[in-house]
Amino acid sequence: MVLGVEISAISLLLLLASSASAQDGVFDIKKYNPKADIAEALSAAFKDACASATPSKVVVPAGEYTMGPVDMKGPCKSTVEVQVDGNLKAPAEPKGEPGWVSFEYIDGLTFSGKGVFDGQGHIAWANNNCNKNPNCKSFPLNFRFTSLKHALIKDLTSKDSKNFHVNVINCENVTFQNFVIDAPAESLNTDGIHMGRSKDIKIIDSKIGTGDDCISLGDGSEQVTVTGVTCGPGHGISIGSLGRYDNEQPVRGVFVKNCILKNTDNGVRIKSWPAMKGGEASDIHFEDITMENVTNPVIIDQEYCPWNQCTKDAPSKVKISNVSFKNIKGTTNTPEAVKIICSSALPCEQVELNGIDLKYTGTQGPAKSECKNAKLTITGTLNPPGC
């Protein structure tokens, strides 16, 4: 009888020990016997945290790790935080997966930590021929966020992604804060944060340097706020490109404020394809922007046709209205500091230029502003003049 009591006591102790992580709500990948590649351990830890009925946390401690693709998918029973303090490296050779780290169908996600996610993109960049081939091979993104609600992504670093660093699709109420994107100017097709079909997205106090748009908004982006972002290198902060595909949803309610662009190929931009599909962009506002040695600081381009993959024989079918550029100052390295080139079929309406003061630093002057097919309101300074 005594032996039975002892066995029961030991069983109880083992049960308590095995459930300790669940009770305190912390699921450390170290408890999952991670291999050299921690993808399996992280997936298992997230699965257990997602099944918890109370708020939980997945932890990747400080250290150096390699990790294959991971897809963390809900719905979860309660809120989940994934805290990564280690430095993670993706496989150097991509194997066709669409994304390296994916979060899907989660309501109440916090993704945080001091970690660096190194996509090891150099091999992919060298083999990227998208500037010549419209059907080029697609390489994996560092992060895919799909169908998230009430999410916070903060303090992490995305480094050298093979493709876009971040793709936000069909999400609602997602905030990026103190988020860092680090890649060289030669990293082809590596948009920093791209979004589409998403609502109430905030990008706050972040630093983005990459080889394409620092931030790009595709169709269906609504109520987007960008504040305190430093962009460079890169292609600027862009709405679009729009009008390339059937059934694109409108872009509405975009506010970009208190941002700095350094040595970028564009500044703040709206772009749509000519002679293709319809669309709409409205209620878009850029304010208190500092430009430092920027090409095309202020631009609406409805003749956007990269790598000659389209024709300019017919005008854009995208309607642009209620757009403002206010208090935009600094330096431009091209004489055309302001370019508002709209569609002849659907001229831009309610475009406001207010307090534009851009100094041209080159030798091809004089500097000028150019506007075409737009109904403009100009108040305060417009330097250089021309519109």
Alpha-carbon gap, residue 98 to 18, rounded angstroms: 35
Q: 3-class SS at 123?
A: helix
Can 165 be counted among the known catalytic residues?
no
Beta carbons within 10 angstroms of residue 7's beta carbon: 10
List Cβ<8 Å contacts ≥24 apart for 40-47. 42/67, 42/70, 42/72, 43/70, 43/71, 43/72, 46/70, 46/72, 46/80, 46/82
Closest C-alpha among 222, 234, 224, 221 to residue 260: 234
Range 139-165 burial, b when 16+ CB lie within 10 A, else e: bbbbbbbbbbbbbbbbbbbbbbbbbbb
Catalytic residue among 150, 165, 194, 235: 235
Q: Rg (Cα) of the chain, in Å, rounded? A: 24
Phi first, then psi, for residue 10 (nearest 5°) are -65, -40
Three-state SS for 166? strand
Cα 128 from chain centroid (whole Å):
20
Helix (H) / strand (E) containing 141:
strand 141-146
Extract the tokens encoding 323.
């757009």
Does an H or E element contain 104, and which?
A: strand 99-104
CA distances to 73, 135, 319 from 144, in Å = 11, 21, 29
Residues 6+ apart with CB under 8 A from 23: none
Give catalytic residue positions.
235
